[in-house]
Amino acid sequence: MKFSIRPVHPQDCRDIERMIRELAVYEKMADRMKITYEGHSVVGYTLYFYTYNTWSGRCVYMADLYVMPDFRGKGIGKALLASVAKVCSEQQCARLQFSVLKWNKFSLDFYLSKGAQDLIDAECWRFICFDGEALENLTLEAP
């Protein structure tokens, strides 16, 4: 199967929204979806940004990697992951980090087969989040 990996363009917004919605359904979190758009021609995407690790330096955090179900198993996810890794390398980032839902064994096994390490197992790290009311309450404590 032929496909291309490229940066996102404004005209891709409909496809990206559709795939984010599909990802939300897959991850059993469709009720959290707030953005809307319609249409499609793109079949997979990654969403990532730069972050910083105290010990390692500059890193990339991959928030999403998604391939439409009909296009899985064709090397697209692997190519997307490798493309983000290439950006990481080109920008001299020390790490590529992301989160995986614990029930998503298929994805976890895929990442581990590529050499990723589970930081809960390796370093005992937990992923922590403040949102909604908890975030609002925390802001009230700011000086």
End-to-end CA distance of the chain: 56
C-alpha distance from residue 10 to each of 13, 16, 24, 35 (Å): 6, 10, 21, 15
52 annotated active-site: no
Contact 79, 3 (CB under 8 A): yes
How long, in residues, is the chain?
143
- CA–CA separation, 77 vs 79, rounded Å? 5
Count of other CB atoms within 10 angstroms of residue 103: 10
- CA–CA separation, 41 vs 27, rounded Å? 22
Check 45, 48, 66, 111 and give the catalytic one. 111
Which sequence positions are flagged as catalytic? 111
